[in-house]
Structure 1
């Protein structure tokens, strides 16, 4: 990603005032956030609006209109799940498992960040993305160089993909319903509930993906789903029960846990 430079030359006093406003609002990385906001604003009036939005609690990515994900600038919009850095680990595991993948599906795609990152690393691929939420579908179409479908999990996909998918990445919701209210306000107040709430134990959608994946994967293809450390054992059991050769991959650095299932 090329370095950002301000759209207008802010004075040191302006820069200091932005940092002070963000710090007062509780932004831990106020200096870094200020640089991004200053680089996004085209005029002093626009700068004031962006700072006001961030101070009011809007996630930084929605303030500036994009999120960085594996070196890509992913467009994000209000009402769409913001890609997390920890999900880069899921992409890494997919690439390691099937480095020569030619058919890739990003299920529960949100902004389409996972699919875009996989395609960026793999080169020319047949890429499909799908989400239930119309807002996510519109956003993903800005980021994905492939076909984006709207619908509920596998019902959204073209039938011609059955038995052909090399990488099926599904960043499913996995927060238990009773714990959604405990999430940080940035997620709880600004991201769609369907992208967060995974049902009573957080694994409702994961189990559906695990059950359906074998019919859609090519031989040697894999399905990957992010989950939490606490849910890992039950998630792994769901993958194994569907007939997949399954394993857990964990990144302590990114606090990421991914279930990988392979169709032998």
Structure 2
């Protein structure tokens, strides 16, 4: 948090709001309050304002975001968790058991999903994976309180073989924007967030296939795979789950525009 002794005077605050609004920041007043709440000096907040005015996402300027009530530390170049992904967390929490949970967070990015699912859960062994070293460094900080293990690598390849067939819950928010649609994303995302965290391949589902394909090898009987998708892609993701040997369903939250596909490994797999 910023130094509580530092406060903006009303004239300076109004100037900052106008500066941000002139650069297209729709929530200029709220952003000004957030920046002022973290800044330690007028010089620092003015520097932040110029970064934000240049188009840098507010989360990168501040160095954190709020997700499921948690403060998630962020570095520039790490995927910024969206509010809709809180629906993935809520769904995952319904499968948490009181006695023991072994959980994987694949394509973990900042570690926000794993941290939120594990929050308040004492009996959990969490393993998070991302291919990006910057994301791994960021996730390691965010998951420190959970005792989670964060690995850099390609999905299941870097996990201990001892986990095979012993995982209760796999959560994943992989990239699912079709390659040709990446150019249509908001400017902030295109310019500042890593393309590999946005581009999901030709139809957006490359990582969905790869994660689902091997999920049955890692899950216990009755274990769950939960993956964020889009409303348009939900049915295709469900088909991918079924083809991988999972019983599956699609759940949706219209208010958040959030779609999650839930798969369960049947007892005979």
Query: TM-score normalized by structure 2?
Result: 0.94
| Shift in Å, 1:158 | 1.3
SS of aligned partner of 2:127 = strand
Q: Deviations over 1:77-122 (max 9, x none)?
A: 1110001110010011111134445111111000000000011042
Contact 2:105 2:127 in 1 (8 A): yes
Contact 1:7 1:41 in 2 (8 A): no
| Shift in Å, 1:165 | 1.2
Residues in 1 aligned to 2:234 and 2:3: alpha-carbon distance in whole angstroms: 42
Residues in 1 aligned to 2:191 and 2:5: alpha-carbon distance in whole angstroms: 30
Contact 1:7 1:39 in 2 (8 A): no
Q: Which residue of 2 aligns with 1:217?
A: 219
Contact 2:234 2:250 in 1 (8 A): yes
Contact 2:2 2:39 in 1 (8 A): no
1:25-104 to 2 correspondences below 5 Å: 25-100=23-98, 102-104=101-103
Residues in 2 aligned to 1:234 and 1:85: alpha-carbon distance in whole angstroms: 23
Residues in 2 aligned to 1:52 and 1:85: alpha-carbon distance in whole angstroms: 25
Q: Which residue of 1 aligns with 2:118?
A: 119
SS of aligned partner of 2:8 = coil
SS of aligned partner of 2:119 = helix
Q: How many residues are aligned here?
A: 262
Contact 1:7 1:40 in 2 (8 A): no
Residues in 2 aligned to 1:192 and 1:103: alpha-carbon distance in whole angstroms: 29
SS of aligned partner of 1:97 = coil
1:174-189 to 2 correspondences below 5 Å: 174-189=176-191
SS of aligned partner of 1:187 = helix
**Any unmatched runs of 5+ in structure 1?**
none
- Residue of structure 2 aligned with 1:156, choices 155, 158, 165: 158
After TM superposition, which residue ranges in structure 1, 4 or more long, deviate above 4 angstroms?
A: 3-7
| Shift in Å, 1:22 | 1.1
SS of aligned partner of 2:170 = strand
Contact 1:103 1:165 in 2 (8 A): yes
Residues in 2 aligned to 1:6 and 1:37: alpha-carbon distance in whole angstroms: 13
Q: Which residue of 2 aligns with 1:205?
A: 207
